[in-house]
Chain A
Amino acid sequence: MSATGLTGRLAMASERMDRVLDGLKIASPEALDGCAGLLELACQELAGNFGGPTAMAGETAIGDVQALAAATGLRHNIRQARRLLNHAYRFHARWAQLLGARTGGYLRGGQAASVPRANRLCLRG
């Protein structure tokens, strides 16, 4: 794989990461599902379809400044995505804890009760 090829793949993965960041901004369950799909594709592009990163070890990409810049930019976006993902998850988890405490009180260990789910009764005559 040439350095240009690697740079191209990194650029493609970066493009997907941009869409992941857009999805994480919405952070709905549907958006998160979409993000997971995009991330899976990015992983495949970077490794799976090309025989893994070790196959690139002997490639001409070594020392390539453009490829390095693209990879560094990609890693930067990955870490941003991780922070946003953690924000979203903490938001829902704390909200669920609060709702649990308000609706079910606290358990013996001091943790909030889980959010009660209504049981529905179906009668057939």
Chain B
Amino acid sequence: MNLLAGIDVTAGALNAYDQVLSVVQNNVANSSTPDYAEQTQNLVPIPFDISDGAMGGVQAGEVTSAQNTYLDQAVRNQTVLLGQAQQGVNSLTALQSVFDVTGQSGISAALNNLYTAFSGWAQSPTDSVAQQSVISNATDVAQAFQQTAANLDTVAQNTTNQIQDTVNQVNQLVGQLQGFNQQIMAGDTHDAGLEAQVDSTLDELSQYVDFSALQQPDGTYQILMNGQTPLLIEGQQYQISYQPVAPSSDAAYPSAPPTAAIVSSSGAGITADTTGGQLGALLNIANTVLPSYIGDGNQAGDLNVLAQQFADCVNGLLTSGNISDGDPTDGVAATPGVPLFTYDTSNATNVAASLAVSSTITPDQLAAIQPATDTTAEVSNGIALALSQLASPQNSSQEGDLNGASISFSSFYGELAARVGNDLDTANSDLTVQQTAVAQAQNLRQQVAGVNLDQQAALLLQVQQGYDACSKFLSVLDELTSDVIEMIDPSLTT
């Protein structure tokens, strides 16, 4: 080795170690920066071969971030699910407050009071006070349906606003990332502070939507929503937008409320793919949960179905009866009953909101008399009795039809309220699991980051053993607990 070559090698090594110190200094300076990933300087050996003059030594290699893309993505995947669960709980809590299940107020209480009024009227069919009580309580029922429909409309409007806000938030965060990409493209590479800002922004974005962030060879980040819709490529941002979509004119219910759609910058619909994060949860509420109550292009909505079936049942009974007897000897015909309730017959998704007591009916027009048939005699309070039996139906003509099952109107309403309650229970459970899952993913990231391949392989073997053991015991415990539950209450099956 000649003297100059030796000096070169020494100088190269000093230069390399200088860069190592620089990286260490950077780590210390950024130690309190949120999301900062400690960096290491690789020292790359230079070939040593006397025959062709290669002098060996070391030189500084690429700065490698210990914060692996995979590890970050694993944490973000759980954060997406956490955002989704959190939003699900928030939205369903708001929805649950619309349905009173205590029986003290709302539709449930109004129905019970009307049944009581029918019962009183059945005992004194010609009593004007009893008749007025029926009209008054029927008005309360109609108002309770209107109020519930209005409250659901408010929830729907709030959901729409939240979708718009979330879309704006996504576009704003991607705009920030676009700025970081432009800095990187301008040569600001390997800046740990900038990387920390990028990570922090990506973490925030993961609350709202599901996406993958791929770092390109030039250091910029490519963001794909739902793994396929471009949001950011190099210095170009692609904004998403929200659009309300009214049912088509040939839909089964063309006047139904609109559904929510998310559209990519190219105009393509990406609603179906958008299931994760807060946006995914909001779309589920707007396009699946709420329409099951208030309707959409394909369904009338169960609240409207209940309102219509109840009104039709009461009206059907009243119009089958007579207000007063006729007198065949004098040639006076009986006076047939008139409907109690009215509603918007042109729009099945507007029945609950438009349900009202007929403005033309007076208390003395309530038809209590069940006319005689070929096989039965006239019953002076037959219709009033049949109406009072709606509380405890004696046959299917006094019941509602929920998805093909005959059910009392009170139970029908109870099912609607229970559906929200069950959904909220599931959402709360998901939220608890996801909160732990995010903490778990963060712990796992710390455990794996910086572990060498040897340790990594050993770690997987250890985890496999622990997983197998835990999995086996969990299965046994689950089975035992299910057996215990079945023993305590045999009616419960798992």
Contacts and interface: CB of A to CB of B under 8 A. Distances in A.
B462 interface: yes
A84 to B, nearest CB: 6
B436 A24 contact: yes
Interface in A22-63: 24-29, 31-33, 35-36, 39-40, 42-43, 46-47, 53-54, 56-57, 59, 61-63
A36 B477 contact: no
Contacts of A32: 462-463, 465-467, 469-470
B471 A85 contact: yes
B54 interface: no
Given A39-B473, A85-B471, A47 B436 contact: no
Contact of A13 (B433, B457, B477, B483): B477
A47 B480 contact: yes
B487 interface: yes
A12 interface: no
Given A92-B463, A99-B453, A10 B474 contact: no
Given A24-B436, A71-B484, A89 B478 contact: no
A57 B436 contact: no
B454 interface: yes
A48 B470 CA distance: 18
B456 A35 contact: no
Q: Which of B471, B480, B482 has the most CB of A within 10 A?
A: B480
A39 B487 contact: no
Given A80-B429, A83-B433, A25 B474 contact: no
A88 B468 CA distance: 12
Contacts of B457: 96, 114-115, 117
B139 to A, nearest CB: 40
The range of chain B's interface size is 35 or more
Nearest to B494: A75
A47 B459 CA distance: 33
B488 A61 contact: yes
A87 B78 contact: yes
Given A32-B467, A63-B489, A91-B74, A10 B433 contact: no
Interface string A80-113: 1111110111011111101100010000000000
A121 interface: no
B123 interface: no
B166 to A, nearest CB: 25
A94 B463 CA distance: 13
A89 B485 CA distance: 29
Nearest to B492: A68
A47 B478 CA distance: 12
A46 B479 CA distance: 11
A91 B447 CA distance: 11
B11 interface: no
A24 B487 CA distance: 30
Contacts of A27: 440, 443-444, 447, 463
Given A26-B443, A27-B444, A63-B489, A95 B70 contact: yes
A98 B482 CA distance: 38
B228 interface: no
Contacts of A40: 473
Nearest to B453: A115
Nearest to B75: A91
A31 B444 CA distance: 12
B435 to A, nearest CB: 10
Contact of B477 (A78, A80, A96): A78
Contacts of A88: 440, 444, 463, 467
A40 B78 CA distance: 29
Interface of B: 70-71, 74, 78, 429, 432-433, 436-437, 439-441, 443-444, 447-448, 453-454, 456-457, 459-460, 462-467, 469-471, 473-474, 476-478, 480-485, 487-490, 494
5 contacts: A29-B465, A36-B473, A68-B489, A82-B471, A83-B433
| 6 A-B pairs closest in CB distance | A32-B466, A29-B462, A39-B473, A36-B469, A53-B483, A75-B481
